[in-house]
Amino acid sequence: MGYPGGKSGAGVYQTIINQIPPHETYIEAFAGGAAIFRKMRPAPSSLLIEKHGPQAAALDFEFKDQATIIHGDALDVLGSYKFTGREFVYFDPPYVMETRRVQNRDLYACELSLADHNQLLGLICRLPCMVMISGYRSDLYDRALADFRTIEYEAATRGGMATETLWMNYAPPVALHDYQYIGDNYRERENIRKKANRWATNLKEMPALERQAILSAIAADPAISGGAGLSHQEDRR
């Protein structure tokens, strides 16, 4: 699905999903084509928010049995949402106009003004859950999200390759929601996949009690298991 600014490009969605910790509810604000939702292993519950009516209707038609689709403004929806702290919210808003190669030209049906971006950043900093935001570097975002962790990656755009940034309000995850894209590039991902398949086959061929003894030892060793059960608050300490 070709959607302006979508995150379905090779190397892009893998980079993003490899930064997403375990969570109970996945929320994609400014859903657009919902590229990350499409590529990632489903969460126990998912919420897609899209302001543009026709696009929200398209998402509802395609995913009504897999997620809750809300046609509305993400700031209004999230401003009244009852958070539990086990949510993960991914923001991929229209990027700040001055950071784009072609400025002063609308790309989306629902653009954001600088005032809108300021309001969005204020909301993001108040959310009591794990948050990730995509964008191009700007003084506005760097000031507002100064306490957030960042990584950069290269993405193919209609104007060529561009450096994009992820801002995150949590430490590097010690466990992931979805491991299928682990690795920095295709070759590394393939090597890890083959290794995982080989180890899985070896475990399956072991006697049942020997297999359970190994799995129990792995689960009991925090240096191996990575403390996957840590809460969001513990992750940020």
SS3 56: helix
Please state the CATH superfamily assignment of the domain spanning residues 12-168 in this structure: Vaccinia Virus protein VP39 (3.40.50.150)
C-beta of residue 164 within 8 angstroms of C-beta of residue 132:
no
Domain ranges within the chain, ordered by starting residue? 12-168, 186-225
Detail the DSSP E strand segments found in the chain.
25-29, 45-50, 68-71, 87-91, 130-135, 149-157, 160-168
Which residues have CB under 8 Å from 11's CB, separation 6+? 153, 154, 155, 185
- Over the chain, what is the mean pLDDT? 85
Residue 131 has pLDDT above 90, yes or no: yes
Rounded to two decimals, what is the model's pTM? 0.80
Spatial separation of the C-alpha atoms in residues 9 and 38, rounded to whole Å: 12
For 38, list phi and psi in degrees, rounded to 5.
-65, -40
pLDDT band of residue 229 (cuts 50, 70, 90) is: very low
Instruction: Kindly report, residue by residue over 142-194, the tens digit of the pLDDT.
Output: 999 999 999 998 887 666 678 899 999 999 998 999 999 988 888 888 888 89
Predicted local distance difference test score (pLDDT) of residue 237: 30
pLDDT in tens, 50-71: 998 999 999 999 999 999 999 9
3-state SS assignment for residue 107: coil
